[in-house]
Amino acid sequence: MATEPVYRAILVVDVVGSSQRTDVEKPLMREAMYGALTVAFARAGLRWGSCRREDRGDGAYLLIPPEVPKPVLAGDLVAAIDGVLAEPRPGGASWPRLRLSLHAGEVMVDDEGSSGLDVDLALALAGAAPARRALDV
């Protein structure tokens, strides 16, 4: 049971159009999302294994340790994600389109997961109407 909040950067990743995918397509979508993220983390010099991850089915959210500098997150990591998604995907399939939000704040962490107003805000930002409209095609 969590007793004290911890400060973490919060990265939310949401796959665009996931609700239109079939049950057969969804695991492939998630595999591609995680593949892109792990490559981007490596390119940004971040350790994927140092982050607590929670799968959301159509996305994920990550709690990133506080010692990671903000310029690395907002600059290097975001650029690395963008760069990976701009490259051809191995095997020829396209990468899933992703909405991201990056926030930081107090998080309650326990054995079952994490929660807090800052987590709620980060999740809401990724799914907000302006973010959705920006990716409408």
Rounded Cα distance, 135 and 17, in Å:
10
Strands 59-64 and 98-110, how do they pair?
unpaired
The residues pairing with 105 across neighbouring beta strands, listed in sequence order, are 8
Rounded Cα distance, 63 and 75, in Å:
17
Burial zone of 41 (CB within 10 Å; 0-12 exposed, 13-18 middle, 19+ buried): buried
CA angle 104, 109, 112 (to 5 degrees): 130
pLDDT value of position 1: 59
Residues 86-131 pLDDT 10s: 999 888 788 899 999 999 999 999 999 999 999 999 999 988 888 7
